[in-house]
Structures are given as structure tokens and as C-alpha cells.
Amino acid sequence: MPRLPQFRRFGSRLLFFTAGLVALAQAATYVLVSRANRQNALVAIDEALEQGARQFRAASLRREADLLLAARMMAGDYALRQLFLVSRFSPETARSALVSYRKRIEAPAIVMLDPAGGFIADTRTLEAEPRHAPFFALQKIADASEAFEAAGWGFVGDELHQIVVVPMLAPPPEVAAWIGVGFPADRQTAEELKATSALEVTFLAGEGAPRVVASTLPAGLAAELARAARPALASAPVRVALGGEDYVTAYRRVSVADGPPVWVVLQRSLQAELAPSRQLEAVLAIVTILGLAAAIAAALGLARSFANPVRLLAKHTERISYGDYDTRIELDRADELGRLAEAFNAMSAGLAERDRVRDLLDKNVSPEVAARLLRDGHALGGEEREVTVLFADLRGFTTLAEGMPAPELVALLNRYLDRMSAALEAEGGVIDKYIGDEIMALFGAPVAAPDGADRAVRAALGMRSALAAFNRELAAEGRPALAFGVGINTARVVAGNIGSRRRLNYSVIGDGVNLAARLQPLTRRAEFAADIIVSETTRAALGGRYSLRPLGVVEVKGKAEAVRIHAVDGAA
């Protein structure tokens, strides 16, 4: 690890660290802003790609509806139907009629098919060609469908078309012929979609090495896209490098009636999307440089005004490190450094006081007990007070301990106790002791708490939530889930320091403590289906609203009379 430069002067050190921190903060800000801009750009592009896909679907459906309307109009045309009612059918006349319709409906590809699957005529020739294959494929689909119509995509020659097929009934319900109408998906189609979506649009055909059918990209970039595209493997937007730029690319497959698979490729340049953000980053870089210069100037000024006071404080600190708490620093200043000198003097007095009470504090572990000791200045004697006692036990810990190495077991137990303790302390609970995997906590001692019962129940519910979160972590680690049981009782007990002259422990004793300890094992009884059980006295002391479930009256070891208990299912 590289060592930081060593400076003999405080001013140099202050300058170095101030400039370094400012530079680090500004650099971190720049990186975070740049990363956020990039992330926002990617999100915006993803949304644009999804919107573009929806626009393509909507445009395809509109074109399909227009083609179906035109085909139905032709199929219902009286003049066309009359061609099949005369004694001698003329393909030339049929072709002439199709050519006439091509101008009226502005659809360049129109074909007439025989009901038996043969070719009759189209707008170009009277001879069947391979380019009519998608019309024949759609004819079979329409003939088998309930709608008696079909729509899809296919290649008419080398050009991709959106095509429809409808029957001509002459006379009804006899099918005299099938009318197929197609409209090309060419560069104009791609440009129209680009105009509404602000995306680059390309139609690719084939797998492995697809060919470009039409594209809004320049020819060179479109050829690069065809070489780099792997549409069958892309289920989500991917990045494709074209001409030195990253294009976020989405592939949408088009249903083709006959021929190679077809994809419509939607793209947006990441660099183009980031262009406005780059301007902001440039401004931020200038601000960073100016801020660094200002920080250096400010650091120089501060160093000059702080050097002597800091040296005095350093000297005073050195004396304190030797245990000299009686020396006081004299610094006649009304600013923060003057207050800091006063704080150092107060710290000296506090350290002297700390030494006086260190032995006393070492005998107590609870912060609340320590606060009382510092305030009162003597050991806490026995006193009777109303306390809510909580016992929590980890179920199945013995079985878990048998199958786990000791270091892992201790680590797991510490993680569990850490989460449970946090939930207890969040409600003002004082952890009396840890007994293996069991926790004993107090609410109302040594500091009185009129709402100790509510605090205890809320803490138990918090422990339940914390255990659920902990179990999710254990599940991610492949470990089994843990369960616990909690018993809570409210009673008047004796509280005070208990132990020897050399070691004391603040705790509570009495029948109420024993009852709380006896309630906790009742959570193991299957008929109760409860992990938190409270006594009747705790229930009566509750001021808040909770979802309680009466469990009846049970006999408890050490109690002559049966006690009434309740399960805590949650907060009301």
C-alpha cells in the first residue's frame, strides 16, 4: 500500500489533504454524474426501443387492416366476380383487372390464386413464379381458419412484403378464387418508422449471416450490422459496435408465411443519446478545476491562522497522553478554536473523572446502568419496581450446533444475537444477559418506563421481522432457516446490583422473572402455533393495539395457580 507523503509543516499537510479531499470529492462527483448520465441514457434508449417496437406493431396492424380492406373490396367487386360466371374464363382479363386495381389501392403486389392451390394471374405475369410462395402459404392458412382470411409477411421475389389473402365467392358460398395483396417493407417503410420513433430501423432476413432487406443506416453501417447481428440469441437489447459507436439494439422477429426468418432491428446510438450529458460533464469538469483552485487558496489561508493554535493543542494532547489531566490550555479566541480549547480543558476534567469511576463502570455492561452510576456516583442498591421481562430462545440450537463447526456456529450465533439485540435496544430494552443462545432483556429497569409492556411487545415484533430478514440472508447462503420463541411477563420485581465485591451485575430477581422464563418454552407447543407469548399482566398493561390471540389458562412449573396467556400475532 503506498505511503502518504510526510510533511513537517501543518500548512503543507492541510493544503495537501484539503486539495486531495476536494479533488477526490469532485472526481467522485464527476464519476457518479457520468455513470448516472450513462445509466439514464440506457434507460431512455430501452424505453425508446420498446416504444419503437410498439409503434412498429401498430403500424403493421394498420397496414394489415388497409390491405384486408382493399382485398375484401376486390373480392366483392362485381366485375371481377363476373369473370368466373362466364362460360370461358380469361386469365388475361383477370390480369388486366388486377393491374387496374393496383393503381386504385396503391398496392404493387396483387395476385389471384386458384381454390385448388394453383396460380391464375398477378399484376406482372400470367405464369406462376416462386415469388408467389408466401401467397400460397397464406391461402392454406386462410382456408383452414375460421376467419377464412390470413395475413402475414413474406418475400415476393427478393422484396419483403406485408401480405393478406381473402376468398372471392362467386357465387356465394363457393370460392371462385383467392385474392392476395402485398405491400413492400422497403427503405421507405423503415424511414417512416424512424420519423415517428427517432430510431434507426433495419430489416434483416436469414439466420447465421442475415442479409439486409432495408435500412435507414448508411450502406456501410448496415453491412456491419448484418455481419455482427445474432438476432436469434438476443432476447433483450444488446450493444452492437457500428462505425466506432455503440448502438443499443433490439431485435423483434416478424412472422413470415414462407421464406427465411425476418427481424426488424431497432437501434439508437449511445453516443448520440449521451451528447447533451457530455456538455454537462464538461461544465462539471471546469467547476471541478475552479473548486480545486479555490480550495487550495482557502487551505493556505486556514493554515496560516490555524498553525499556532493547532501546535498548542497538539502539545496539550501530548501532555494528556502522559496522564497529566491538570494542565489547562490558554487560548484567547472567540472562534471555533477557542471553543475547541475549552473543550480540551473539559476533556481533561472528564478524563480525570473517568479514571475515578473506571472501576465502577467496568462492573456494569448496560449503558443505562452506567449512566445511573455516573449520575449517582455509587452502586445501585436493591429496589422494587414494575418491570417487563423478555426471554428469547433460539429453537433447535442444540441440533444446529451438532452439525456445524465451532467457528461457524459462533459466527452464526453472533450474527443472530446482533440482529435481536438491535431490535431490543431500538425500543429501549436493556439486555440483562446472554445465556448461550438465550437473551434476557428488561423494560423498566434501571430506568423506569411506564410503557414497558408496549416496548417489550414492539421489540418482540421487531425481533420477528429481523429474524425473517436474517433467514432470507441464510437462504441465500444455502443455510436452514432459524426460529425463536419469546416469553414476556410484567410484574413487580427486585432490581439492583448482584454479585461479589469485585464483580457486580445489574439484574432483576423475583417470581415475575421466573414466569417470563417459563412462558418462553410454551412457544414450542404445536397447539399454540405462536412464537411470542405474553402473560395476562402484560396484556393488561398494554396501551397500544395489537393482534392478540387468547391461548387459555396453562399450568406453569413453579406456580401454584394456572396463568392465562396470549399469543401476539402482530400489530393491529
* Closest among 440, 552, 452 to 507, alpha carbons compared: 440
Task: Flag whether pLDDT at 188 surpasses 50.
Answer: yes
Model confidence pLDDT, tens digit, residues 412-468: 999 999 999 999 999 999 998 998 889 999 999 888 889 999 999 999 999 999 999
Same fold, 1-299 and 378-571: no
Angle at CA of residue 331, ends 347 and 12, nearest 5°: 90
Task: Give the β-pairing of 484-499 and 383-394.
Answer: antiparallel
- The whole-number average pLDDT for the span 95-111 is 84
User: Which superfamily does 1-299 belong to?
Assistant: PAS domain (3.30.450.20)
CA distance 505 to 433: 9
User: What three-state secondary structure class fits 332?
Assistant: coil
Quote the cell numbers at residue 139: 391461402
User: What three-state secondary structure class fits 18?
Assistant: helix
Q: Which helix (H) or strand (E) holds 236?
A: none
CA distance 416 to 482: 9
Arithmetic mean of pLDDT over the chain: 83
Task: Flag whether pLDDT at 502 surpasses 90.
Answer: no
| pLDDT of amino acid 362 | 46
Model confidence pLDDT, tens digit, residues 235-294: 788 888 888 888 998 988 888 887 788 889 999 988 888 888 777 777 777 877 877 777
Which residue has better confidence, 522 or 291?
522
CA distance 118 to 139: 10
- The whole-number average pLDDT for the span 193-202 is 91
CA distance 151 to 454: 69
Residue 361 — pLDDT band, cuts 50, 70, 90?
very low
Q: Which residues contact 281 (CB under 8 A, 6 or more apart)?
A: 30, 33, 34, 37
Residue 358 — pLDDT band, cuts 50, 70, 90?
low
Q: Which residues contact 339 (CB under 8 A, 6 or more apart)?
A: none
| pLDDT of amino acid 363 | 44
Fold of 378-571: Alpha-Beta Plaits (3.30.70)
- The whole-number average pLDDT for the span 549-559 is 89
**Residue type for 511, please?**
D
User: What three-state secondary structure class fits 27?
Assistant: helix
Range from 180-194, 275-289, 525-539 carrying the lowest mean pLDDT: 275-289
Model confidence pLDDT, tens digit, residues 556-568: 887 878 999 999 9
User: What three-state secondary structure class fits 565?
Assistant: strand
CB atoms within 10 A of CB 469: 9
Q: Where are the domains of the chain?
A: 1-299, 323-362, 378-571
The answer, as to whether pTM is greater than 0.75, is no
